[in-house]
Amino acid sequence: MTKNKELKEISVVLAGNPNSGKTSLFNGLVGRHLKVGNWAGVTIEKYEGFIEYEGYKIKIVDLPGTYSLTAYSPEEVITRNYIIEENPDVIVNVLDGTNLERNLYLTTQLMELEVNSVIALNMYDEVKEQKIEIDFKQLEKLLGSHIIPTNSIKKEGFKSLLHHITRVYTGALSVPKNKLSFSEEVEKNVERLTEIIKGDQTLANKYHPRWLAIKLLESDQLTYTSTKERAIWLNIEKELLDMIPKYEDMFDSSPSMTIAEDRHSFVRGAVKETVQYPKEIKKTLTDYIDSVLINRLLGLPIFLALMWLIFQFTFKLSEAPMGWIETFFGFLGEAAATIIAPGLLQSVIVDGIIAGVGGVLVFLPSILLLFLFLSFLEGTGYMARAAFVVDKVLHKVGLHGKSFIPMITGFGCSVPAFMSCRTLKSKADRITTMMIIPFMSCGAKLPVYILLIGAFFPVAYAGNILFAVYLFGIIVAILSAKILKTGLFKGESEPFVMELPPYRMPTLKAVLIQMWIKAYMYIKKAGTIVLLASVVIWFAGNFPASREIDKTYADKAHTVQFNQILDDEQKESQINEFENIRLSKQLEYSYAGRMGKFIEPIIRPIGFDWRIGISLVAGLAAKEVVVATMGTIYSLGGEEDEGSSDLAASLRNDKKYDIATALSLMIFVLLYIPCLAATVVFHKEAGAWKWTSIYIAYSMTVAWVLSFAVYNISKLFLV
Amino acid sequence: MKMTELKAGDKAEIISIKARGEVATRLIDMGLVKGTRFKLIRKAPLGDPIEIMLRGFFLSLRLNEAENISVEKIGHVGDGKPMGGGRRGR
């Protein structure tokens, strides 16, 4: 339906290989009329946009980049289903003009669909630069489609492309029949199946009969499923059960293999006939760069150095803006506190909403920076090389080379780490990587370690203990990957058959769009839910409030106020102390406090009492809060940080705590579920409650079991 | 011989592919079919995966995927043996 009645709408999709410049062509075409969402059920971004041209409103959907239309990867399923089910008016097949032989394989599969199509021969500037000569006329005849040379960066050929799209749509431009055919025996079988399919009018109307026949002969699972419900399936199945084994006997190869080989030979023939490559063989820039970047000796050190630099830059550069955001929300809180009268409303707005939203937005600078760097590296083509370099190590524990980036990112913050798992195409690899990311100790857990190490260990050992905690997390992560991969996703793994694309300088716009998409999704999705949850946690920490406690300490403060013996300074310090004790008692009385006491039986075996319990519950909001909450419980006021010697001393002098408790608590904080923001992002990225519940249950169990082990072992040897 | 037995710089032709299921589909989709000529560019720093050049582009695959591919060695880099295909295919 068109919104504007005067404009006729044409629906167009862009289909093409990854790295064919499809996305930059899309960006160039639609300009700012861009809408980004997700394809239903998967974490693959869906780009839509429109452009007005000669009285038409051309709606363009950028399909995920694929090499083929088999139904294995989610990208392929999306692309296929969209083309088949949504029946777009025109398909624009985007090709990387410098690598026609690989790109045309997908074209052959689109040709089988017999739909209106136009070919955009992209990166035409590079084609000319490399002195590759293409006989467009002849290639058009072979492929049965009009070919328009384009250059998405300089926006060359766009007018012509739009012109062709509209003319093909109206039928003003005739499209020649393509010259693709298969070997004799395959053709015979295809024809026989096509005839049978034509017997079912509904089926033949829905799918192109010849295409359906080819797919059935290829033993394509998706087509089987969609054809099985038809009555005619019995006839089809009988034919297939007859012809496939016969074929295999005759040719010692399956029809699907022959079909693929025929497509490749067609492409090879077409390229040979119409494309002239320059005579001399020149080493390309990619050859030179790769001979250094993924060199056998230098490959790993360069990779590690690059990662180290990204992390240094991300976390150092984001420190200042994070400070500004904190200051801003601090200021906002104070401003709100002066405007709104003290009381519940003030408390919920200042301590609940402003603190909660601020606590989430404070991660924004690191997300922006990290994704700026990662999008840039992805755009250049280096990411595929990074996976190539480290794959062996990760493959050992059942992961994929691409899992490395998210894992490393986890040391900074789990939130961007979860989001960077999107580059992992297989669900098994992605979910497993996401489950182990929280074991990579994030930045917010550091204050807890520093406090506990400072309180219970001699300074000389401090560095080693801290290192050991981080190492412990890595080991748990590796073992977990192994367990999860064999337990949950037995045998499922993405094959590592991956293109190493030529190096290209990505456009700034493309990098910024990628970065912004990640940031926007974080703000939108995490923001709303975290906001709600912050209010819940605030509520648990403040309700119910005991009037008696308030009254007792108000009375005490009152008595001090009129005490004649004390000077002003002593009075103030005593009143402060009463206020801190009051806060501590109120916290104990609140739902959070009761929760701490309620879970005490569960956490007693690992060496914790209800006070640690409250801190751990509060730590669900954010890990730094564990320290602040302990400060409150020890009546030191809420403003404690890890450098506080008062809190460290209180902990040390507490007879209930010892080194075993400290170790156990560090392990527990390291392993139990990360903060709320991270958990929400996990849920969004994993996409199902099933994974979120497994993830919570798994990390809680691992945390408890290992803390229990560490507590009891160190009780035996250290205390 | 198997693809895994080739050394960096070797040129070879694919004789047959034994893989099944998704791995087979992936290999075929990326142009690894009977008769395809390719060059082994390099092995990763830790020896696995490997990088090959075929049909004018670069592809990486793991040794356990390459295991399933039987090849015949036809030459070594620099000998001018034709390989067909793209810009560096000769």
Domains and CATH numbers, chain A: 8-170 (3.40.50.300), 184-276 (1.10.287.1770), 509-676+708-717 (no CATH)
Rounded Cα–Cα distance for residues A588 and A613 (Å):
11
Query: How near does any CA of chain B get to the CA of A385, in Å?
Result: 9
Residues whose CB falls within 8 Å of the CB of residue A496, separated by 6 or more in sequence, listed in order: A387, A391, A395, A400, A401, B49, B60, B61, B62, B65
How far apart, in Å, are the Cα atoms of A328 and each of A355, A533, A623?
11, 21, 21
Sign of CA dihedral A138, A144, A150, A156: positive
- Per the CB < 8 Å rule, is B44 touching A299? yes
Which has more confidence, A525 or A482?
A: A482
Read off the pLDDT band of A491 (50, 70, 90): low
* Chain B neighbors of A268, CB-CB under 8 A: 55, 84-85
Two structure tokens written together for A107: 């074209």
Residues whose CB falls within 8 Å of the CB of residue B22, separated by 6 or more in sequence, listed in order: A72, A495
Q: What own/partner pairs with CB < 8 Å and gap ≥ 24 does A511-517 have?
A: A511/A372, A511/A375, A511/A376, A511/A379, A512/A372, A513/A27, A513/A34, A514/A371, A514/A375, A514/A378, A514/A379, A515/A368, A515/A371, A515/A372, A515/A375, A517/A36, A517/A45
Given the DSSP bridges, would you call strands B57-61 and A275-276 parallel, antiparallel or unpaired? unpaired
* Chain B neighbors of A183, CB-CB under 8 A: none
How far apart, in Å, are the Cα atoms of A383 and each of A103, A263, A374, A650?
21, 30, 8, 49
Question: Following DSSP, what letter does each residue of chain B receive, concatenated?
Answer: -BGGG--TTEEEEEEEE---HHHHHHHHHTT--TT-EEEEEEE-TTS-SEEEEETTEEEEE-HHHHTTEEEEEEEETTS-----SSTT--
Residue A3 has pLDDT above 70, yes or no: no
Please give the helix or strand (H or E) that residue A433 lies within, else none: helix A427-436
How many alpha carbons lie under 13 Å from residue A634 in its C-beta half-sphere? 23
The pLDDT tens digits for A35-50 are 777 776 666 778 899 9
The pLDDT tens digits for A561-619 are 787 777 878 877 777 778 778 887 888 888 888 888 898 999 999 999 888 888 888 88
Residue A167 has pLDDT above 80, yes or no: yes
Size of the A and B interface in Cβ pairs below 8 Å = 132
Which has more confidence, A553 or A682?
A: A682
Rounded Cα–Cα distance for residues A700 and A694 (Å):
10
Interface test with A, best of B26, B32, B67, B88 (most A CBs within 10 A): B26
Mean pLDDT of A682-690: 89
| Phi and psi angles of residue A2, each rounded to the nearest 5 degrees, phi first | -90, 140
How far apart, in Å, are the Cα atoms of A34 and each of A50, A507, A517, A519, A673?
7, 17, 11, 16, 36
Query: How near does any CA of chain A get to the CA of B72, in Å?
Result: 18
Read off the pLDDT band of A621 (50, 70, 90): confident
Residues whose CB falls within 8 Å of the CB of residue A206, separated by 6 or more in sequence, listed in order: none
Rounded Cα–Cα distance for residues A201 and A198 (Å):
6
Question: Would the ipTM clear 0.90, i.e. be above it?
Answer: yes
Rounded Cα–Cα distance for residues B80 and B75 (Å):
9
Is the pTM here over 0.95, yes or no? no
Q: Rounded to the nearest 10 degrees, how much is the dihedral formed by the CA atoms of A68, A73, A79, A84?
A: 90
When the pLDDT of each residue in chain A is averaged and rounded to a whole number, the result is 86
Using DSSP's 3-state secondary structure scheme, residue A396 falls into: helix
The pLDDT tens digits for A264-312 are 999 999 999 999 988 776 778 888 999 999 988 999 999 888 888 887 7
Beta bridge partners of A93: A15, A119
Q: What is the pLDDT of residue A476?
A: 95
* Chain A neighbors of B22, CB-CB under 8 A: 72, 495
| DSSP character at residue A151 | B
Rounded Cα–Cα distance for residues A349 and A326 (Å):
16
How far apart, in Å, are the Cα atoms of A689 and each of A577, A693, A698, B27?
46, 6, 14, 34
Residue A1 has pLDDT above 80, yes or no: no
Q: What is the pLDDT of residue A539?
A: 81
Residue B9 has pLDDT above 80, yes or no: yes
| DSSP character at residue A183 | -
Rounded Cα–Cα distance for residues A364 and A361 (Å):
5
**Chain B residue set in contact with A, beta carbons under 8 Å:** 22-23, 25-31, 33-36, 41-49, 51, 55-62, 65, 84-90
Taking a C-beta distance cutoff of 8 angstroms, is the pair A500, A384 a contact?
yes
Q: Tell which phi-psi region holds residue A132, choosing left (phi > 0), alpha (psi between -120 and 50) or beta.
A: beta
Rounded Cα–Cα distance for residues A361 and A367 (Å):
10
Range with top average pLDDT, A450-454, A532-536, B9-13: B9-13
Residue B44 has pLDDT above 90, yes or no: yes
Query: Closest-CA residue in chain A for B33?
Result: A261
Rounded Cα–Cα distance for residues A152 and A124 (Å):
9
Residue B88 has pLDDT above 50, yes or no: no
Mean pLDDT of A474-499: 85
Domains and CATH numbers, chain B: 3-76 (2.30.30.90)
- Per the CB < 8 Å rule, is A391 touching B62? yes
Residue A679 has pLDDT above 80, yes or no: yes
Work out the burial of residue A245: count CB atoms within 10 Å of its CB; fewer than 13 is exposed, 13-18 middle, 19 or more buried.
exposed
Q: What is the pLDDT of residue A316?
A: 80
Two structure tokens written together for A607: 């060496």
Q: Rounded to the nearest 10 degrees, how much is the dihedral formed by the CA atoms of A410, A412, A417, A418?
A: 80
Interface test with B, best of A128, A268, A388 (most B CBs within 10 A): A388
Mean pLDDT of B34-60: 93
With a pLDDT cut of 90, the percent of chain A lying above it is 36
The pLDDT tens digits for A353-403 are 777 777 667 778 877 887 888 889 888 989 889 999 999 988 888 888 888
| Phi and psi angles of residue A557, each rounded to the nearest 5 degrees, phi first | -60, -40
Beta bridge partners of A59: A11, A50
Which has more confidence, B15 or A644?
A: B15
The pLDDT tens digits for A239-265 are 999 999 999 999 888 899 999 999 999
Residues whose CB falls within 8 Å of the CB of residue A281, separated by 6 or more in sequence, listed in order: B87, B88, B90
Read off the pLDDT band of A708 (50, 70, 90): very high
With a pLDDT cut of 70, the percent of chain A lying above it is 94
Please give the helix or strand (H or E) that residue A119 lies within, else none: strand A117-122
The pLDDT tens digits for A633-642 are 665 554 555 5
Query: Closest-CA residue in chain A for B90?
Result: A281
Closest to A700 in 3D by CA, of A662, A657, A669, A666: A669
By Cβ distance, the residue of A98, A260, A501 closest to B33 is: A260
When the pLDDT of each residue in chain B is averaged and rounded to a whole number, the result is 87
